[in-house]
Chain A
Amino acid sequence: MKTLKNGVGIGAFCTSMLIVLVLASEGWTVPYFSRKYRTSCVTCHEAFPKRNAVGEGFRMRGFQFVDDDVYRKEEPVEMGDKAYERLWPKAVWPSTIPSQIPLSLIGRFLGEVDLDGSRDESMMFLLPEEIELVAADAMGESLSFYGDVIYISKDFGGNDVESWITAKAWLQFQNLLGPENVLNLRVGTVGTQGMALYTARDANNFTTHFYQYTTWAMPKVNLSQSGLADFQGNPFTLQPLSGIEVNGVGKRWMYAGGWVSSQVKNPVNEFPESDFYVVGVGEKSPQDLFLQCAYKIGGLPMDGSAAKGESPLAADPEFWRDDHLMLSLFGYRGTADIEVEDAAGLTSTSADDFWRLGAGVQAKYGDLTVGAGYMWGRNDNPYGVLSTNSVDSGAWLAEAYYFVYPWLIPYARYEGLTLDLPSGVAGLDDDQDRARIIVGGKAMIRANIALNVEGTFYTDGAEVEEGIDGTLFVLLSAAF
């Protein structure tokens, strides 16, 4: 996809907005779960894709409500009666498959306006920026699945646009042991809903940009400046990874922990090497561990076991409200291979052991939500033979959003990263600290169509994340 020039771009952008609006008002365009339960998006979302307490409970139970069969309007196709569980292995393990194709379509259309003249082009358009095909559902009480295929166009801060396709998928076995929802086993792409602090997750946010603390990677060594033939650094970011996860949820707590590999072929913040890849697939078998947990004080229970009204589907005129305080912790421990190939073609390989430990807090009161988080980190030897130094890191964030109306939500986030990089490594700038302010607003044009207008302004290290400082992002997203 090539960059569109101003006039044509604006025309195309407006046209696509119009098409989307017309389709939505036809009324057939609602995502799969909304169709399955014949319920509004606001049953589960504050402003899609960000879920409210009901939606989080539904998700963490494996896409089921309490007494799910009472609420669903379309019966799944049974593969066998529950009684066959007792006859196993004499018979087919029973489950159900969805009677309707459990697909939803999400489109994101992005316009970028250069506010400070730092880019070559004053406007850029990614139409679409993303097309997501999502399949997710429960298959009986004991199985759930998720899969997505996403067409992505990115420019990473005003560079040439490149497009590729990614895929993610997981299968979850519910309620393996003990009380309901306490032990579930997930295999596939784990951490799809936040390989990070539960209180600050990319998959459950209002902004068009992912958090800095989830996307930063250890800076690479510039090959031409260093005179090296090749440098393979530690590609770790807090993004979905392939592996195995156990998770569970109770009234006031949740946890997820797993065994993954962070040495991915295609890091999330780089143009990928291939046109299609599966997110988080590593070059090595899993050897990293992560653990995420959260505790909620006040508000609706996290496991969806109680609702504000008669049922979780009962219309809630204050669907975005849920006064509470939530605390979260996240820890990660991993190892990455570092490869340095010098000009003579000699390759040195070493290991970089690293860890992250973060704490977060979120408070919601009335129409206001505030949150903050900090993540400490240490990489023992991220530059291999180039430096014996370890690198300590600290990433932080503070954010707030406010429901002026149920459909208009201004937000702000201040976030930053400090890295004590070694000095004297050729091709590595030892000051790559950065901090930025994101200010914007989200307007829900329809329950399933949103418009974000968002500016990003760096207070430090604008040159590190080139092309994003002083840029206005206009994002139209729609889910069908």
Chain B
Amino acid sequence: MRNLVYPLVVIAAACGLISAGFAQAAATGSVAGSIELHKAKVKTHGAKSFKDVVVYLEPLAPADYPPPVEHAVMDQRGLVFIPHVMAIQVGTTVDFLNSDHDRHNVYFLYDKTGETLDIGTWGPGQAVSYTFTETGLVITLCQLHLEMAAHILVLASPFFTVAEIEGETQRAEYAIHSVPAGEYVLKAWHKKLKMKTGDLRTTVTAGRTTTVDVAITRSKYAQQP
């Protein structure tokens, strides 16, 4: 009898996992589409290029998502912040590395408030971690190298992606997966350009991919929200 119990437990557990997986898959969907540039072209090469577009979903009904346990990483290498554009969920801890032969500093400028925070200056091989507890754009600078800059977009939800505009075609594709079915607002953030249409109401249907094509353009051609 005892030697039967173990396989049964295993089978039961496996069934439970599979059904849970199905439930999960059944309750989520994806949002994907293209990003077109309207009356604008951007530089897509170089350390501080304009290739990155953050596309993210904000649920209409307020919800709390637990922040990820894993740390995100921002490196400083060759007098450049890598990556140049980073999206994180609020509550995420970012490890700021220094892979240079030089000392670097990390200095935040909170876009919303204009407040600043100097988290320190450290040498090669060292790292400092910082947990972002407020949503919004955080412009990340190094006061030792004034030309260095990165953009950290701190978002309320985990449903985001960073898409890259291709130089030749001046367009990008994006996809956000595992989004619980429901009503959302889709937003796109770019260093210079704005969404032509303003925010887009988006319905996520379980098990399906909703296509939302996005156009970004200069502020003067964009619809103000």
Contact = CB atoms under 8 A, between A and B. Distances in A.
B148 interface: yes
Interface string B109-126: 100001010000000000
Interface of A: 67, 69-70, 75, 77-84, 86-87, 91-92, 94, 179, 311
Q: Which of B148, B149, B220 has the most CB of A within 10 A?
A: B149
Contact of B146 (A69, A70, A81): A81
B71 interface: no
B62 interface: no
A471 to B, nearest CB: 50
A77 B48 CA distance: 12
B146 A92 contact: yes
B41 interface: yes
Contacts, number: 42
B114 A79 contact: no
B169 to A, nearest CB: 13
Determine the main DSSP class of A at the interface with B.
loop
Contacts of A86: 109, 114
Determine the main DSSP class of B at the interface with A.
loop
B94 interface: no
Given A70-B43, A79-B147, A94-B146, 11 more contacts: A67-B42, A70-B41, A70-B42, A77-B147, A79-B146, A81-B139, A81-B147, A82-B149, A83-B141, A92-B146, A311-B41
A67 B192 CA distance: 11
A77 B148 CA distance: 12
Contacts of A84: 141, 146
A70 B147 CA distance: 19
Nearest to B109: A83
B42 A91 contact: no
Contacts of A87: 109, 116
Interface in B123-144: 139, 141, 143
B225 interface: no
Interface string B181-193: 0000000000000
B139 A69 contact: no
**Lowest 10 A-B CB distances belong to which pairs?**
A80-B146, A81-B149, A78-B147, A69-B43, A67-B41, A70-B41, A83-B139, A70-B43, A83-B109, A83-B149
A290 to B, nearest CB: 31
B38 to A, nearest CB: 13
Interface string B4-19: 0000000000000000
B23 interface: no
A312 to B, nearest CB: 11
